[in-house]
Amino acid sequence: MNIKAFNLENNSRNWNDIFHNPKPVELYSFKTGSVHIHRRGTINPDHPNAENILDETLNVPIMAHLIKHQKFGYYLLDVGLDKSYFYDKYGRLSVPLKEEFYQAKNENIAYHLDKLKINLKMIFLSHLHSDHIAGLRELPIDIPVVVGKGELGHYQPEIYGDFLKGVENVYELDFSKLDSISPMGKCADLLGDGSLWAISTPGHTEGHVSFILNGLNQPTLLTMDAAFINDNIKYGIAPSDYTWDVRMAQKSLDMLINFLNEFNNVKVLAGHEYPED
């Protein structure tokens, strides 16, 4: 596996200017399986505003998002699960920390892409937890993969499973070299034309990334796991389960909420929610 720096750009200083110049990009979201999670943990139970939030088990989707750019082609934001989870809820892993996932027939990411006859240009990963990267095992190894700087340092294939095995090129997003675009922090223009933005949202993991799609119909914020579910945004409480730094995760969520309050025309899609029509 070759690790390289991704060529980052940030030529804008203002989200109003960005949103007044939408681009021909479309978003297609795929459910690749599901997982049971506990509400308390999905919403940090130690947060002062969490006192009256009851615990319950939630069944949430495992998502992957396809970006279609009329000029540049197709890109994935996270890859979800491969088809091994249809046969085995552990994805045929033998490592110590195996998560239980559930998958119906033809929910795996390769099925969705093959059905649409998609040739991917690149894969952008929000972070390296298994429910976001397991699908790499059934995708061509020569598709470049892009992650936030800091993710690879915490990647433990011997514990969680080696989903990057065989991937030829992994590129890192180093946000430290970029300016902030208020009220967001560090932001990167991934395709160079203002159509797809990566937002540095550390906390859930060190190099966690959220995304903004600046499409012709409406801009969309994809929080990824900076907000697991819509209630993270509704109550203003970040997740704590599977989270590297809860304090930093809350800071990133607060930033996203401030952004949504200022730009209320932006559609928001939480990491484990299926988009509404």
Summarised one tens digit per residue, pLDDT across range 30-86 is 999 999 998 888 999 999 988 877 788 999 999 999 999 999 999 999 999 999 999
Extract the runs of DSSP E, i.e. beta strands, from the chain.
2-5, 25-38, 57-69, 73-77, 120-124, 145-148, 169-173, 187-189, 196-200, 209-214, 219-224, 267-270
The yes-or-no verdict on residue 12 having pLDDT over 90 is no
Give the model's pLDDT for residue 38.
87
Spatial distance between the Cα atoms of 166 and 156, rounded to a whole number of angstroms: 15
- The CA-atom distances, in angstroms, between 271 and each of 170, 224, 275 are 22, 4, 10
Mean pLDDT (whole number) for 7-31: 90
CB atoms closer than 10 angstroms to residue 234? 12
Q: What percentage of the chain reaches a pLDDT higher than 90?
A: 84
Give the model's pLDDT for residue 53.
79
With respect to CATH, is domain 2-270 assigned 3.40.50.300?
A: no
Question: Is 114 strand, coil or helix?
Answer: helix
pTM: 0.96
Give the model's pLDDT for residue 9.
72
The yes-or-no verdict on residue 277 having pLDDT over 70 is no
Mean pLDDT (whole number) for 79-101: 94
The yes-or-no verdict on residue 13 having pLDDT over 80 is no
CB atoms closer than 10 angstroms to residue 46? 9
Domain-wise residue ranges, the chain: 2-270
